[in-house]
């Protein structure tokens, strides 16, 4: 069976909807310059009292929304379960200063339904049949028939799935906790009360649990309010740098140039493709692959890098040390213009985490997702479909723009190594989703595969499958490819920190 | 398929408000439902004069001349299949 995030992918559920409604309301709240004391009224614009849709009562729904609002403001989570109002001390959020800090991804316990961690259960379809092959194939003798249906002793069950496979009625099924199933690094367990708990030391902030929890109990923090304040400060130049996966996120009829122009209308002074930073990385890695011993691992996905480094310390040196395309792009701007601010816009939760690292923090001021960007467009009343832009964007190569897709990073490095250094035989392995990344590294460790180049991506399908995206994968893939073809140059052109226009 | 126009026209707002509230996902659902293709012209339209009221009623869909607000895939697909069934009954 396909995995949790693949099953739910592309379906617009109430989980997605509540997240977006909250973002929309908060942005409007700031734009309308409403009195901060009125923030307590916001949950009631989102939840209709007396008509609970998803919980036992609307009071609980309101309480959860208050906690979600707090995280959307970028503030540390206060759980009302602990006896405090989630909307106290919110003043620090209304500033252009960075307020988000670790932990970035958290469980809101009031929203967590404490679903079973992992168990094989017998459903009502069971007929307690004469053949009962389930109990016969069970290697632990865990199945008995006390009443009208089979009973599985959970203490004995080892989840080998043999009973599931043989049942003539397909009456036995495995029930897994969706957040834990989505997590590729086993970072989710339960606390003493049965609520899901994120083990922060293990978590690599990929964000897949956020979009996989069917009860919207896991959330990251947003910088959307601080970005609004940054934009309203006319004294500073604010640059938006946009990840390669932006293409097609706002509908098929919205051109990349229209997205850039829309971002400009929000008040950004300049917009640049992060695919340019990707080009710099391609050049660096295609040169590095000529000299490294063992394999070279890509460095653009922070969740993959964290996973590879912490689970496979012996391969730590194999993962490229280079900055990610986000930081490479931000660096060019910051080096050229002191005092400028940089906001990264991407599909990614892990980039929010990356920008918190002391080494990266000077380059990237804030990080928002495409979903958060869309909330800005909606609140500002900007309809991208109505923008007819005649501008063409030429910040990056075709290969750099391909970084958005699984396999694109490896392709860029291999093609560039071939063209620049005449290296033709690079054996390449790649994986998307952290579970598959770990399988790949295991195979390398066992010597089953022996690649020169290894690409890892945390999200299914690559960055276009990220938790902060808006559009279905297949639609975006086509448009990313078209935009890559439209580039004036196929191979990267990254000349020692100079932006492309300065080279001409 | 002939060039003759199809009996059902489905217009889906592809403005930014509706896209934010799931229009892209809905479009994907409509294109994936191969059974409706012979009967439906699926069009991405521009904003329906802010019928969505700043995304509050998004997404907006128009099937022939009927407007649907807060259009969810289950309602839209059912509305389309109902019309297809009616066409079948008329022919009998």
pLDDT digit string, tens, across residues A301-327: 999 999 999 999 999 889 998 889 999
- Residues from chain B that touch A261, judged by Cβ atoms under 8 A, are none
The CA–CA distances, whole Å, from B40 to B8, B71, B88 equal 5, 17, 14
Q: Are strands A238-242 and A270-273 parallel, antiparallel or unpaired?
A: parallel
Can you tell me the distance from the alpha carbon of A377 to that of A371, in angstroms, rounded to the nearest whole number?
Answer: 10
- Residues from chain B that touch A10, judged by Cβ atoms under 8 A, are 25, 28
Judge whether A146 is closer than 8 Å to chain B, CB to CB. no
Residues A431 and A480 in one domain: yes
Residue A503 has pLDDT above 60, yes or no: no
Which is nearest to A101 in space by CA: A124, A127, A126, A75? A75
3-state SS assignment for residue A200? coil
Judge whether A63 and A86 are in contact, CB under 8 Å: yes
Residue A18 inside a domain? The answer is yes
3-state SS assignment for residue A312? coil
CA angle A190, A194, A195 (to 5 degrees): 70
pLDDT digits (tens, 9 = 90+) for B54-88: 999 999 999 999 999 999 999 999 999 999 999 98
Residue A181 inside a domain? The answer is no
C-alpha distance from B7 to closest chain A C-alpha (Å): 25
Judge whether A294 is closer than 8 Å to chain B, CB to CB. no
Q: What is the mean pLDDT of residues A233-238?
A: 94
Residues A20 and A163 in one domain: no
Query: A454 forms bridges with which residues in the sheet?
Result: A297, A429
Strand ranges (E), A53-157? 106-107, 118-122, 143-144, 151-152
- Give me the number of domains chain A comprises: 3
Residue A504 has pLDDT above 60, yes or no: no
- Residues from chain B that touch A472, judged by Cβ atoms under 8 A, are 24-25, 28
Q: Is A382 in contact with B16 (Cβ distance < 8 A)?
A: yes
Residue A151 inside a domain? The answer is yes
Residues A127 and A213 in one domain: no
Mean pLDDT, rounded, of chain B: 92
Judge whether A459 and A347 are in contact, CB under 8 Å: yes
Can you tell me the distance from the alpha carbon of A90 to that of A53, in angstroms, rounded to the nearest whole number?
Answer: 28
Q: Which one has a higher pLDDT value, B90 or A65?
A: A65
Residues A457 and A349 in one domain: yes
C-alpha distance from A251 to closest chain B C-alpha (Å): 6
Residue A148 has pLDDT above 90, yes or no: no
CATH number, domain containing residue A171 = 3.30.70.20
Which is nearest to A219 in space by CA: A362, A73, A359, A356? A73
Tokens standing for residue A24 = 């929309």
The CA–CA distances, whole Å, from A64 to A37, A71, A110, A221, A316 equal 19, 11, 6, 15, 40
Can you tell me the distance from the alpha carbon of A166 to that of B57, in angstroms, rounded to the nearest whole number?
Answer: 48
Judge whether A355 and A364 are in contact, CB under 8 Å: yes
C-alpha distance from B11 to closest chain A C-alpha (Å): 14
- In the block, tokens 């080009």 appear at A279
Which H or E run contains A303? helix A302-311
Q: Is B44 in contact with A252 (Cβ distance < 8 A)?
A: yes
3-state SS assignment for residue A386? helix
Residues A154 and A262 in one domain: no
Q: What's the pTM value of the predicted model, to 2 decimals? A: 0.94
Residues A169 and A74 in one domain: no
Can you tell me the distance from the alpha carbon of A303 to that of A370, in angstroms, rounded to the nearest whole number?
Answer: 18
C-alpha distance from A355 to closest chain B C-alpha (Å): 26
Q: Is B47 in contact with A383 (Cβ distance < 8 A)?
A: yes
Residue A463 inside a domain? The answer is yes
Tokens standing for residue A447 = 């010597």
Residue A333 inside a domain? The answer is yes
Residue A45 inside a domain? The answer is yes
Q: Is A385 in contact with B16 (Cβ distance < 8 A)?
A: yes
Three-class SS string for A273-301?
ECHHHHHHHHHHHHHHCCCCCCCEECCCC
- Return the number of other C-beta atoms located less than 10 Å from residue A152's C-beta: 21
Q: Is B16 in contact with A470 (Cβ distance < 8 A)?
A: no
Residue A231 inside a domain? The answer is no
Q: Exposed, middle or buried, A407 (CB in 10 Å: 0-12/13-18/19+)?
A: middle
CB pairs under 8 A between A and B: 72
How sure is the predictor about A1, in pLDDT bands with cuts at 50, 70 and 90? low
- Please report the sign of the dihedral spanned by the C-alpha atoms of residue A365, residue A369, residue A375, residue A376: positive
* Chain-centroid distance, C-alpha A48: 30
- Return the number of other C-beta atoms located less than 10 Å from residue A450's C-beta: 11
Mean pLDDT, rounded, of chain A: 94
Top residue of B13, B19, B59 to mutate, by most chain A CBs within 10 Å, is B19
pLDDT digits (tens, 9 = 90+) for A280-291: 999 999 999 988
Residues A202 and A310 in one domain: no
Residues A32 and A128 in one domain: no
Can you tell me the distance from the alpha carbon of A102 to that of A402, in angstroms, rounded to the nearest whole number?
Answer: 31
Residue A120 has pLDDT above 80, yes or no: yes
CA angle A283, A289, A290 (to 5 degrees): 105
3-state SS assignment for residue B27? helix
- Residues from chain A that touch B27, judged by Cβ atoms under 8 A, are 475
- Residues from chain A that touch B73, judged by Cβ atoms under 8 A, are 11-12
Structural domain boundaries, residue A290: 236-502
**Could you please report the per-residue DSSP string of A204-262?**
----HHHHH-TT--EE----HHHHHHHHH-TTS-EEEEE-GGGTTTT-TTS-HHHHHHH
**How many residues appear in chain B?**
92
Residue A499 has pLDDT above 50, yes or no: no
Residues A70 and A199 in one domain: yes
Residue A502 has pLDDT above 50, yes or no: no
Q: Is B25 in contact with A10 (Cβ distance < 8 A)?
A: yes
| pLDDT number for residue A348 | 97
Residues A324 and A214 in one domain: no
Top residue of B13, B21, B24 to mutate, by most chain A CBs within 10 Å, is B24
Judge whether A176 and A182 are in contact, CB under 8 Å: no
Residue A230 inside a domain? The answer is no
How sure is the predictor about A43, in pLDDT bands with cuts at 50, 70 and 90? very high
Residues A245 and A327 in one domain: yes
- Residues from chain B that touch A8, judged by Cβ atoms under 8 A, are none
The complex's ipTM works out to 0.93
DSSP designation for A55: S
How sure is the predictor about B17, in pLDDT bands with cuts at 50, 70 and 90? very high
| pLDDT number for residue B1 | 47
Judge whether A415 and A435 are in contact, CB under 8 Å: no
**Using omega within 30 degrees of 0 as the cis cutoff, is the peptide bond preceding A103 cis?**
yes
Residues A167 and A207 in one domain: no
């Amino acid at each position: 069976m396909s995995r949790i995030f693949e099953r739910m992918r592309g379906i617009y559920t109430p989980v997605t909807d509540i997240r977006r409604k909250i973002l929309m309301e908060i942005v409007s709240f700031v734009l309308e310059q409403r009195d901060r004391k009125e923030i307590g009224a916001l949950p009631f614009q989102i939840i209709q009292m007396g008509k609970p849709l998803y919980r036992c009562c609307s009071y609980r729904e309101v309480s959860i929304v208050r906690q979600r609002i707090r995280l959307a403001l970028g503030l540390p989570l206060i759980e009302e379960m602990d006896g405090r109002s989630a909307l106290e001390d919110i003043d620090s959020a209304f500033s252009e200063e960075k307020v988000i800090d670790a932990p970035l991804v958290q469980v809101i316990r009031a929203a967590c339904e404490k679903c079973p961690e992992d168990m094989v259960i017998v459903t009502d379809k069971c007929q307690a049949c004469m053949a009962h092959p389930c109990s016969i194939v069970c290697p632990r003798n865990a199945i008995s028939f006390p009443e009208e249906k089979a009973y599985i002793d959970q203490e004995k069950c080892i989840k080998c799935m043999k009973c599931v496979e043989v049942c003539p009625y397909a009456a036995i099924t495995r029930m897994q906790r969706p957040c834990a199933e989505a997590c590729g690094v086993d970072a989710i367990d339960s606390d003493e009360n049965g609520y899901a708990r994120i083990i922060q030391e293990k978590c690599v902030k990929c964000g897949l649990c956020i979009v996989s929890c069917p009860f919207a109990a896991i959330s990251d923090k947003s910088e959307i309010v601080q970005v609004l304040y940054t934009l309203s400060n006319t004294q500073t130049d604010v640059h938006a740098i946009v990840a390669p996966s932006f293409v097609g996120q706002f509908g098929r009829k919205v051109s990349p140039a229209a997205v850039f122009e829309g971002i400009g209308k929000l008040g950004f002074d300049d917009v640049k493709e992060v695919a340019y930073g990707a080009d710099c990385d391609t050049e660096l890695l295609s040169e590095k692959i000529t000299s490294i011993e063992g394999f070279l691992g890509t460095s653009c996905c922070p969740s993959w890098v964290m996973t590879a480094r912490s689970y496979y310390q012996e391969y730590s040196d194999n993962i490229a040390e280079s900055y990610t395309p986000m930081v490479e792009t931000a660096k060019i701007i910051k080096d050229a213009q002191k005092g400028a601010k940089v906001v990264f816009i991407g599909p990614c939760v892990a980039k929010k985490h990356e920008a918190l690292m002391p080494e990266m923090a000077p380059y990237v001021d804030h990080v928002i997702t495409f979903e958060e960007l869309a909330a800005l467009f909606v609140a500002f009343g900007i309809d991208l479909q109505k923008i007819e832009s005649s501008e063409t964007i030429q910040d990056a190569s075709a290969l750099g723009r391909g970084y958005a897709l699984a396999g694109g990073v490896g392709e860029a490095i291999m093609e560039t190594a071939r063209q620049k250094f005449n290296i033709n035989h690079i054996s390449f392995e790649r994986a998307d989703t952290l579970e598959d990344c770990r399988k790949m590294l295991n195979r390398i460790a066992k010597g089953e595969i022996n690649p020169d180049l290894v690409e890892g991506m945390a999200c299914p399908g690559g960055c276009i499958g990220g938790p902060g995206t808006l559009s279905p994968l297949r639609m975006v893939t086509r448009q990313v490819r078209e935009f890559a073809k439209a580039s004036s140059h196929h191979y990267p052109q990254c000349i020692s920190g100079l932006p492309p226009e300065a080279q001409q | 398929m002939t060039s003759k126009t199809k009996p059902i026209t489905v217009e889906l707002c592809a403005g930014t408000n509706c896209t934010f509230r799931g229009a892209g996902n809905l479009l994907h659902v409509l294109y994936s439902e191969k059974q409706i293709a012979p009967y439906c012209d699926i069009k991405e339209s521009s904003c329906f004069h802010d019928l969505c009221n700043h995304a509050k009623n998004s997404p907006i869909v128009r099937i022939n001349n009927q407007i649907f607000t807060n259009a969810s895939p289950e309602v839209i697909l059912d509305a389309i299949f109902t019309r297809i069934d009616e066409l079948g009954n008329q022919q009998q």
